[in-house]
A and B are shown apart, each in its own frame.
Chain A
Amino acid sequence: MLIPLLQASPWALFIGRFHPVLVHLPIGFLLIAALIEIGRRTGRIAVSESTVVFVLFWSAVSATFACIAGYLLSLGGGYDEDLLGAHMWKGIGVAVFAWVAWLVKSDRIAGKVSFGKAIYLPAFAVAVLLTMTAGHDGGSLTHGDGYLTQYTPEPFRSLAGMEPMEEKTKEIKPITDVQQAVVYKDIVQPILEARCTQCHNASKKKGDLRMDELALLMKGGENGPALVAGKGAESDMIKRCLLDENDDNHMPPKGKPQLSTEQIALLSWWIDQGAPADKKVSELTVPEQVKPALASLGGGSAKGGASGAKQKESAIATLKVSPAKEADIQALRKAGLIVNTLSQDQNLLEVSAVNAPQFSDKDIALLLPVAEQVTWLKLGGTKITDPGLKEIVKLKNLTKLHLEHTGITDQGIAQIKALPHLEYLNVIDTKIGDAGLKNIAAIKGLRSVYVWQSGVTDSVVAQTARQTPGLQIVNGFSEAEVAQFLRAGDSTAATKPVATKK
């Protein structure tokens, strides 16, 4: 009966797992015995010595059972040997000294051993001290080294000579630019740290596997390698995550925080890509299925600003101007322009020349009396040219400017840089070229610029977009891209749907 118990048999592990339950009994009993003893000796409470001895007896009994269960648990393996050894001997020490303290006071022995009285208090004290240190070791085995003091606040932190607190890595931090993230360091490691390394670390190597360092992860554990580089689906660590949660081999164990579908997809993708140590997302191929998971990592500031993130409030909200003169507005309307007030609490104006295609450079003079108030200006399709842009710069509160389908060129657009609040610029179907785009990109605060059918080249658009992360440059699409778009429906067109009668 005992022999199977001393191996890592199911019985042994079954009993062993009661160690965390049993272990708290001697801790509580010993401490209460110590408190009663102190209370009794200082005369604060009136209890007989036999009460203390009675509690001590049960401390010793429970400590003994805790030791046995603890030993059986350790057969399961996966713990740091040194720490485990210290814990075990301290635990046994607790039991031994508790028995000694009880024995020297017990009825049978008390009279026979002369030095009994002398060793009672030392044995008792040692048992209590060992309880504390063994308990701490036990905690370190379960939760990892440094768990207790990880969040020591200042000033105690520096007083104790500890390093400044590490930033919380338990949950994955949003990544500002997913494309530039290093896959292992910024994506994989945080997932492992949040879900795996609690049990697979330097001090608690479950299954003899460590996942806290890439090299050790590659090495694998007692069940062989944790991953097969290039084959995510065949890698043990992925397969285990995908097993049913009730399966014994499922990881993380049932009841512990589980990996999300996205996290598994990301780990699997990283392994598929050969588990590289220092490659960035942009250097790897990203299949369609992984994109959502990747996007969920960042605020998604990647292409097109695809995200649920809040936009920065427009400068419009902060612009306060005095009302424009009615006569000036009427003059604009007379010239065929549409003038609308933007909102009731501000006096900003929206001016559109949609009904005045003849609007030309000389007509800009009409705008100057309301230079302060105009914030949205639509001059698309008008006769405006470069000299006109020189005047438009005087409309310093412009936030939106439409210049599409006009004759403006790079020379004119260079002036626009002086507009401090410009957020939107439309120059599609103009002669703006690469030089003009670079000038445009230099406008601080500009959020979107539309350059379709202008003279800009795709490579400069891509380059400028990389250099100015806050700016969305939309270059429309070529006929090739349209052809690609048109193929989107091919997959379903192949299986032409016919209503099937049941």
Chain B
Amino acid sequence: MEKLLKELQHAELHRQTRRHFLQSAGFGLGALGLGSLLGSCGSSKAGEVAANSESLAAGGIPQFAPKAKRVIYIHMAGAPSQLELFDYKPELVKYHGKDCPAEFLEGKKFAFIQGVPKMLGPQGKFAQYGQSGAWLSDYLPYLQTVADELTFLKAMHTDQFNHAPAQLLLHTGSPRLGRPSLGAWAVYGLGSENRNLPGFIVLASGGRQPDAGKSVYGSGFLPSVYQGVQCRTGGDPVLYVTDPNGMNRNIRKKTIEAINEINRQTYEEVQDPEILTRISQYEMAFRMQMSVPEVMDVAREPQFILDMYGVKAGEGSFGMNCLLARKLIENDVRFVQLFDWGWDGHGTNATDNVEGGLRSKCQISDKPIAALIKDLKMRGLLEETLVVFGAEFGRTPMQENRNGVVMPYMGRDHHLEAYTMWMAGGGVKQGYSHGETDELGYYGVKDRVHVHDLQATILHLMGFDHEKFTYPFQGRNFRLTDTEGKVVKQVIA
């Protein structure tokens, strides 16, 4: 008898594989996480769970009334040169072709520059535009027409000189993986304003995803319901959003209800908050089947609007993404993230440079961006929507000399000391420029703004004190700006 019991025990232990151990441990952790997330949700009935999957999307209450209810964040992945577009440096012309001063190189690390590079004068022709006298180059003939709507941050700086970590730092507050992105924080904090659409939508163009991958719009340790939902720029905005042949909407509804019922039962058993996310995503997907094709259908836009953005119905492009961004904002999507790839002007080839290459990227993007600002404005959306334009870092005032060789085209290396971003609408000043760089555009010399300061400012405009807007994870409260960041009060209208 004793032998039998021992054998049973042994068999039980045998079945307790590593996978089982991790599973139960995971459930335990999940339950812990849920406890902190939902507070009072101890005993759960099916009906309550449903309410909770809804409330996940409802978000919280901002600390003060938001000036920017929504955000369109335009990220030019690869980093365009501020010295060709925004930061006018006439002195740099004189230094063109001369050796870079030693003080710019001592103790510095660059992604590619080696030895003593030559200085590279600005390639664009600059002039002042609008009543505010904003300096812009001839690379951006359309942006000039909305110069008085913009607030420039001329002395941005960051800590990372490689694309992926710099993009992560900018969007998640940390150069390492694992943190929630700005859009995820925004939706977590404010919730969605439209039940039928995700609160955070991502549109990418330029042929590639940003270098840091989907983590730049991920939800990190926040419930994954807050992550950015990427939509396609052309064709069906979401793959398989239409029902297959022979499947009608009622059957689809029944299917989803059945799946959700099973999910609810599993949730009651294991209490994993990710299951709530899954339930709400199924519900959302069902509603999106109706709303997304409608919202993202540009065929109903009048021709002159399509002309303004320079797009053709059915063709995906950066311009189309701008138009879609306007349509999503019009339907109260909280956070629309645009990425456009291909701005890394090192000068290594015919497209990858700050002369013709950058010009052709601008030709694709300049008109739709200006159109977006104008379009938002005339619809009464701009004053409640914050538009942010920028990249993960800037570019050096020196010409790149990768491997000590002069590049075949005019190119600049990654630069983290100073670059330009701009914002418009949503509670920022109109026609304003904040910060200055030195005569050669190397360092910010006045009103520098770190990427953490930018994050703090955006959160402030959305109604949050970035120091109090936290999420408990692994035993401490995390925030987007980590331990840093100062709100740039001067740019707030």
Chain B 430-457 per-residue mask, 1 if CB under 8 angstroms from chain A, else 0: 1111000000000000000000000000
Contact partner of B130 (CB less than 8 A), chosen from A306, A352, A485, is A306
- List residues of B (274-330) whose CB comes within 8 Å of A's CBs: 304, 307-308
Cβ of B409 within 8 Å of any chain A Cβ, yes or no, is yes
Chain A 456-498 per-residue mask, 1 if CB under 8 angstroms from chain B, else 0: 0000000000000000001111010010011011111000011
Bound Cα distance A346, B194 (Å): 23
Residue numbers in B under 8 Å from A497 (CB-CB):
355-356, 359-360, 363
- List residues of B (464-483) whose CB comes within 8 Å of A's CBs: none
Q: A338-B195, A345-B64, A485-B142 are in contact. Are A292 and B128 (CB under 8 A)?
A: yes
Contact partner of B308 (CB less than 8 A), chosen from A342, A404, A482, is A482
In the assembled complex, the CB of B75 is this many whole angstroms from the nearest CB of chain A, namely 23
In the assembled complex, the CB of A182 is this many whole angstroms from the nearest CB of chain B, namely 19
Number of A residues near B (Cβ < 8 Å) is: 63
Bound Cα distance A314, B384 (Å): 13
Cβ of A424 within 8 Å of any chain B Cβ, yes or no, is yes
Stretch touching chain A among B111-119, B238-246, B373-381? B373-381
- A304–B148 CB distance below 8 A: yes
- A424–B380 CB distance below 8 A: yes
- B430–A499 CB distance below 8 A: no
Stretch touching chain A among B131-139, B209-217, B252-260, B262-270? B131-139
- B409–A501 CB distance below 8 A: yes
- List residues of A (380-417) whose CB comes within 8 Å of B's CBs: 400, 402, 404
- A488–B141 CB distance below 8 A: yes
Chain B 344-367 per-residue mask, 1 if CB under 8 angstroms from chain A, else 0: 000000110101110110010011
- A292–B138 CB distance below 8 A: no
Q: Would you call the interface of chain A mostly helix, strand, loop, or mixed? A: mixed
In the assembled complex, the CB of A314 is this many whole angstroms from the nearest CB of chain B, namely 7
Bound Cα distance A278, B331 (Å): 51
Residue numbers in A under 8 Å from B65 (CB-CB):
314, 316-317, 342-343, 346, 348
- B196–A482 CB distance below 8 A: no
- A308–B141 CB distance below 8 A: no
- B432–A308 CB distance below 8 A: yes
Cβ of A307 within 8 Å of any chain B Cβ, yes or no, is yes
Cβ of B165 within 8 Å of any chain A Cβ, yes or no, is no
Number of B residues near A (Cβ < 8 Å) is: 63
Cβ of B383 within 8 Å of any chain A Cβ, yes or no, is yes
Cβ of A311 within 8 Å of any chain B Cβ, yes or no, is yes
- A296–B133 CB distance below 8 A: yes
Bound Cα distance A308, B131 (Å): 11
Q: A304-B148, A310-B493 are in contact. Are A344 and B379 (CB under 8 A)?
A: no
Bound Cα distance A500, B129 (Å): 28
Contact partner of A499 (CB less than 8 A), chosen from B133, B350, B363, is B350
Contact partner of A424 (CB less than 8 A), chosen from B59, B61, B190, B383, is B383
Q: A291-B133, A450-B380, A477-B378 are in contact. Are A338 and B144 (CB under 8 A)?
A: no
Residue numbers in A under 8 Å from B129 (CB-CB):
288, 292
Bound Cα distance A304, B382 (Å): 13
- B195–A482 CB distance below 8 A: no
Residue numbers in A under 8 Å from B308 (CB-CB):
482, 485-486
Bound Cα distance A477, B371 (Å): 11
Bound Cα distance A343, B66 (Å): 8
- B366–A300 CB distance below 8 A: no
- A340–B193 CB distance below 8 A: yes
Residue numbers in B under 8 Å from A488 (CB-CB):
141-142, 144-145, 367, 370
Cβ of A295 within 8 Å of any chain B Cβ, yes or no, is yes
Residue numbers in A under 8 Å from B141 (CB-CB):
488-492
Q: A306-B132, A428-B380, A450-B378 are in contact. Are A343 and B463 (CB under 8 A)?
A: yes
Contact partner of A477 (CB less than 8 A), chosen from B66, B332, B374, B430, is B374
Residue numbers in A under 8 Å from B429 (CB-CB):
307-310
Cβ of B62 within 8 Å of any chain A Cβ, yes or no, is yes
In the assembled complex, the CB of A324 is this many whole angstroms from the nearest CB of chain B, namely 13
Bound Cα distance A300, B147 (Å): 14
Residue numbers in A under 8 Å from B59 (CB-CB):
340
In the assembled complex, the CB of B127 is this many whole angstroms from the nearest CB of chain A, namely 8
Most chain A C-beta atoms within 10 Å of own C-beta, residue among B133, B360, B380: B380
Bound Cα distance A500, B356 (Å): 7
Beyond A308-B433, A448-B383, 12 additional pairs, beta carbon < 8 A: A292-B129, A306-B149, A317-B65, A378-B332, A428-B378, A450-B378, A474-B378, A488-B367, A488-B370, A490-B141, A498-B356, A499-B350
21 CB contacts below 8 A, A to B, read A293-B133, A305-B430, A306-B149, A307-B131, A316-B65, A317-B65, A338-B193, A338-B194, A338-B332, A340-B59, A340-B191, A342-B62, A344-B63, A352-B193, A426-B379, A452-B379, A482-B304, A485-B371, A492-B363, A497-B356, A497-B363
**8 A-B pairs with least C-beta separation:** A292-B133, A499-B356, A476-B378, A306-B148, A295-B131, A450-B380, A308-B432, A497-B359
Binding site for A on B (CB under 8 A): 59, 61-66, 127-133, 138-139, 141-142, 144-145, 148-149, 190-191, 193-196, 304, 307-308, 331-332, 350-351, 353, 355-357, 359-360, 363, 366-367, 370-371, 374, 377-380, 383-384, 408-410, 429-433, 463, 493
